[in-house]
């Protein structure tokens, strides 16, 4: 594997928007699940609106925690996070209304296995439905049309009435993406969405996301453990090692445009990930 390979990347999904505003800002953020062991240490990160941002690291490096800090499902132990100028916290009413605009695809996807594909993706529209109507599972014609349009976008239009447990791994991921897109999100967070998939299916899923990111002008923040994949699809790539951000790369047209790392050389970073894929 070498970085020059990434020059063959598809330009699809590389957002051409002019970045004016920061949507996610982290200043010296640390997080831990117990008081002793830190999962994340002093993370500094600034993500501009419309960026296709990738976070890469080995398993257990704290990548998933980073996403849960951004959508307010978890609070940092110290440091400050701003997402759309607010501190993320699920208990905060004002932030909760911004959560409607954050599509979150956890690693296990979190689909309702006994419900149909359409029912699952309409969950993304729930913030726009009144409590009474949602209890009756009653959605407006507009919402149903919109959901079907997005099903078409992820190539699942003929599977709307299938139950989740009847779908393949790739199809399930498309449903999870569609649920996030139905939210009309400003940010999409995806946690290792293509790990466990074969090479071809993984790229199909990445293409679906890249296309949505470009057409809907969203900010996507994706966690990967495959550096090569991240370099192919992202505008910026951050590498996390044992809870610390050790590197951030800007990628443009498949070429690395800036390389910010104090302690590691480009070669060392590559070796870190090449060794993993050999294991």
For residue 173 the two structure tokens come to 């991921």
137 forms part of the interface with other proteins (CB under 8 A): yes
- Residue 186: CB minimum distance to other proteins, A: 13
- Residue 142: CB minimum distance to other proteins, A: 18
| 113-116-120 Cα angle (round to 5) | 75
DSSP classification of residue 271: H
- Residue 238: CB minimum distance to other proteins, A: 21
150 forms part of the interface with other proteins (CB under 8 A): no
- Residue 119: CB minimum distance to other proteins, A: 8
User: Nearest-CA neighbor of 209 among 228, 227, 236, 191?
Assistant: 191
**How many residues form the binding site for other proteins (CB under 8 A)?**
35
> 89 φ, ψ to 5°?
-165, 120
Only segment of 41-49, 102-110, 146-154, 251-259 that touches other proteins (CB under 8 A) = 102-110
Among 21, 91, 131, 263, contact with other proteins (rule: CB under 8 A): 131
User: Nearest-CA neighbor of 187 among 220, 213, 214?
Assistant: 220
CA dihedral 253, 223, 41, 243 (to 10 degrees): -110
Nearer residue to other proteins within complex by CB, 1 or 126: 126
Residue 213: strand pairing partners: none
Contact 53, 220 (CB under 8 A): yes
Please report, as residue ranges, which positions from 154 to 213 form the binding site for other proteins (by CB under 8 A). Answer: 163, 165-166, 176, 183
Only segment of 122-130, 140-148, 215-223, 229-237 that touches other proteins (CB under 8 A) = 122-130
Contact 181, 103 (CB under 8 A): yes
User: Nearest-CA neighbor of 88 among 32, 24, 142?
Assistant: 24
Residues that bind other proteins (CB under 8 A): 71, 73, 90, 96-100, 102, 104-106, 108-115, 119, 123-124, 126-127, 129, 131, 134-135, 137, 163, 165-166, 176, 183
């Amino acid at each position: 594997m070498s970085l020059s390979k990434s020059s063959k990347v598809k330009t699809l999904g590389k957002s051409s928007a002019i970045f004016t505003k920061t949507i996610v800002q982290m200043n010296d953020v640390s997080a831990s699940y117990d008081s002793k062991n830190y999962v994340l240490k002093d993370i500094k990160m600034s993500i501009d609106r419309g960026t296709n941002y990738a976070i890469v690291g080995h398993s257990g490096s704290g990548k998933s925690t980073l996403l849960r800090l951004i959508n307010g499902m978890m609070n940092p132990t110290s440091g400050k996070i701003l997402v759309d100028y607010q501190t993320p916290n699920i208990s905060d009413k004002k932030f909760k209304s911004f959560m409607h605009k954050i599509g979150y695809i956890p690693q296990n996807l979190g689909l309702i296995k006994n419900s149909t594909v359409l029912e699952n993706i309409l969950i993304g529209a729930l913030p726009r439905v009144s409590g009474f109507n949602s209890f009756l599972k009653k959605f407006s014609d507009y919402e149903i049309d919109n959901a079907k349009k997005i099903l078409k976008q992820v190539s699942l239009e003929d599977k709307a009435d299938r139950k989740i447990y009847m779908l393949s791994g790739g199809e399930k991921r498309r449903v999870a993406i569609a649920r996030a897109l139905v939210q009309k999100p400003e940010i999409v967070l995806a946690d290792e969405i293509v790990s466990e998939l074969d090479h071809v299916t993984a790229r199909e899923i990445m293409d679906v996301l890249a296309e949505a990111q470009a057409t809907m002008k969203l900010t996507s923040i994706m966690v990967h453990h495959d550096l090569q994949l991240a370099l192919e699809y992202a505008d910026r790539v951050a590498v996390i090692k044992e809870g610390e951000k050790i590197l951030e790369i800007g990628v443009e047209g498949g070429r690395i445009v800036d390389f910010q790392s104090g302690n590691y050389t480009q070669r060392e970073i590559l070796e870190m990930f090449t060794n993993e894929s050999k294991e």
